[in-house]
């Protein structure tokens, strides 16, 4: 569930104060070389130069600073791409909700993401699928593939190479499972647009339940999103109560409890022990428990057969044939 030892050291070096970040960084450097880190772990290096003092960064100081500047530049590019896409969708009457990394891109300073967000993710209700896809076609997006354990994500790329995931399956059953009727309720003003958005408690729970798993970059980066959201919103007296409600709503309250316990003990990210205890005792959704058990053994999601009919229906309803597809590599 939790990141491994080396990645935990990078998280501690990137998220904690100097008294704790410096020892973690020294320990990591004693067995690892910055220049040889690739894959999801390399994204964590963009955190280091902001938390570890310059005199402790060692010979890779300029590289680490460059990685942080690169993260800023990547996010600026993705933010512009997101704004353009949302504006075109809004002009066509489509409500698109930024989720996953895109939710952090619309956060106000100083609570913007420290990691590079390499793609945009948008949730669009089924009633808007057809219109949304028509808009994406006019913007010259090219479809790459269906993705996700239940084929609930369509991966597209625009002419500039910016990646977009168009999703209709998400965390909260009341608005993302059958009958696919209801979207998120909060709205935010961003760049002159009124957009639907996850509340901060929903975003925290979503980061955990999507990130706590054996595969992918989110398995490493969910603690960073939890840290960002707690730092930004924990002064709200209702924040943790709403986190509890969102955790129960997700059907995975015990997963959220274990994750909050881990970040509190490992990364000093505070959470109310009483809330964690209550969530740990909640019942896990049986289907989601089975899915997690299957994924932990590298087996296909149990929801794939059930969702296959939904996907076929979606393909019939939406003009998939009108969406250009990338040539096979």
Strands 163-167 and 120-124, by their bridges, are parallel
- Tokens 């209700």 correspond to 125
Whether residue 64 is predicted with pLDDT greater than 80 in this model: the reply is yes
Residues 73 and 103: beta-carbon distance below 8 Å: no
Residue range 88-198+300-329 in CATH 1.10.3470: no
Report the C-alpha gap between 122 and 313 in whole angstroms. Answer: 20
In tens, the pLDDT along 81-117 reads: 999 999 999 999 998 999 888 999 998 776 777 788 9
Q: What is the pLDDT of residues 120-141, one digit of tens each?
A: 999 887 778 789 889 998 999 9
pLDDT at residue 297 in the model: 64
Q: What is the pLDDT of residues 187-215, one digit of tens each?
A: 889 999 999 888 899 899 989 988 886 55
pLDDT of residue 170: 63
Residues in the chain: 329
Please give the average per-residue pLDDT across 16-31, as a whole number.
Answer: 95
Q: Are strands 142-147 and 120-124 parallel, antiparallel or unpaired?
A: unpaired
Residues in CB range of 95: below 8 A, 6 or more apart: 89, 124, 125, 128, 183, 195, 196
37 confidence band (pLDDT: 50, 70, 90): confident
Query: Is the omega angle on the peptide bond into residue 229 within 30 degrees of 0, that is, cis?
Result: no
In whole angstroms, what is the distance from residue 272 CA to residue 108 CA? 26
Give the pLDDT confidence of 295-323 residue by residue, as tens digits. Answer: 666 665 555 444 444 444 444 444 445 56
Question: If you average pLDDT over every residue of the chain, what do you get?
Answer: 82
Cα 88 to chain centroid distance, Å, stands at 23
- Residue 142 tokens read as 């090219």
CA atoms of 46 and 60, how far apart (whole Å): 12
pLDDT at 305: 43
Segment holding 97, helix H or strand E: strand 96-99
């Amino acid at each position: 569930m939790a990141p491994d030892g080396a990645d935990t050291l990078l998280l501690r070096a990137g998220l904690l104060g100097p008294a704790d970040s410096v020892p973690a960084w020294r320990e990591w450097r004693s067995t690892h070389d910055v220049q040889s880190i690739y894959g999801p772990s390399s994204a964590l290096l963009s955190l280091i130069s902001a938390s570890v003092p310059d005199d402790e960064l060692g010979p890779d100081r300029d590289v680490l600073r460059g990685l942080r500047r690169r993260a800023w530049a990547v996010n600026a590019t993705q933010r512009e791409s997101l704004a353009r896409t949302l504006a075109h969708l809004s002009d066509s009457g489509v409500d698109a909700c930024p989720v996953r990394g895109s939710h952090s891109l619309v956060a106000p300073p100083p609570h913007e993401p420290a990691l590079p967000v390499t793609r945009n993710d948008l949730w669009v209700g089924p009633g808007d699928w057809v219109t949304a896809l028509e808009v994406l076609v006019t913007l010259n997006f090219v479809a790459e593939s269906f993705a996700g354990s239940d084929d609930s994500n369509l991966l597209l790329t625009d002419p500039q190479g910016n990646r977009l995931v168009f999703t209709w399956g998400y965390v909260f059953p009341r608005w993302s499972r059958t009958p696919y009727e209801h979207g998120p309720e909060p709205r935010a003003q961003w760049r002159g647009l009124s957009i639907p958005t996850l509340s901060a408690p929903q975003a925290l729970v979503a980061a955990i339940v999507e990130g706590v798993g054996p595969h992918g970059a989110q398995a490493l980066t969910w603690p960073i999103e939890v840290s960002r959201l707690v730092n930004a919103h924990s002064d709200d007296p209702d924040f943790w109560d709403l986190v509890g409600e969102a955790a129960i709503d997700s059907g995975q309250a015990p997963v959220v409890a274990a994750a909050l316990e881990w970040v509190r003990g490992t990364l000093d990210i505070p959470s109310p022990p009483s809330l964690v205890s209550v969530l740990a005792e909640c019942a896990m959704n049986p289907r989601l428990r089975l899915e997690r058990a299957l994924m932990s053994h590298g087996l296909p999601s149990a929801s794939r057969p059930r969702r296959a009919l939904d996907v076929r229906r979606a393909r019939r309803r939406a003009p998939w044939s009108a969406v250009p597809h990338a040539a096979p590599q």
